[in-house]
Amino acid sequence: MKILIAAAFWAGMLLQAQGPPAPKNLQVLPKDISHDDLMKAMRAASQGLGVQCSFCHVPREMDKDDKHEKIVARHMFTMVMNLRKTEGMPEEVASKITCWTCHRGSAHIELPPPPAPPAKKQ
């Protein structure tokens, strides 16, 4: 029993020393993104949609692409990144374009219908 505990302890130490594993399947985010920036982007996406990581990911296998939500999210990341690159768009405008801008904390967006067109003047 003591040996088992010691082995688990050293395995834990080794994992910590190695740090988080490098991402294996980034297709739209920069491949050399730091772990901190990747987690910032993931937290922003989760908060923007009001969901947990498992909405898009198979837990502990974040590199897998087997959830359609992750595939959609990849296109959404591309859309947001492209919009932000719009030539001439001031930084303070570009930085307002996030997942939250449209999603407002829900994966599925409940929008009121657009208002009726203004009545014609007589």
Residues near ligand HEC (CB under 6 A) are 23-29, 38, 42-43, 45-46, 48-49, 51, 53, 55-57, 62-63, 69-70, 72-74, 76-77, 80, 99, 101-103, 107-109
Residue 8 vs 89, nearer CB to ligand HEC: 89
d(CA 3, CA 64): 35
Nearest approach, Cβ of residue 3 and ligand HEC (Å): 33
Neighbouring C-alpha atoms within 13 Å toward the C-beta of 14: 6
Q: What does the block give as tokens for 71?
A: 């595939």
Nearest approach, Cβ of residue 90 and ligand HEC (Å): 18
Nearest approach, Cβ of residue 93 and ligand HEC (Å): 13
d(CA 89, CA 100): 19
Q: What does the block give as tokens for 18?
A: 């190695």
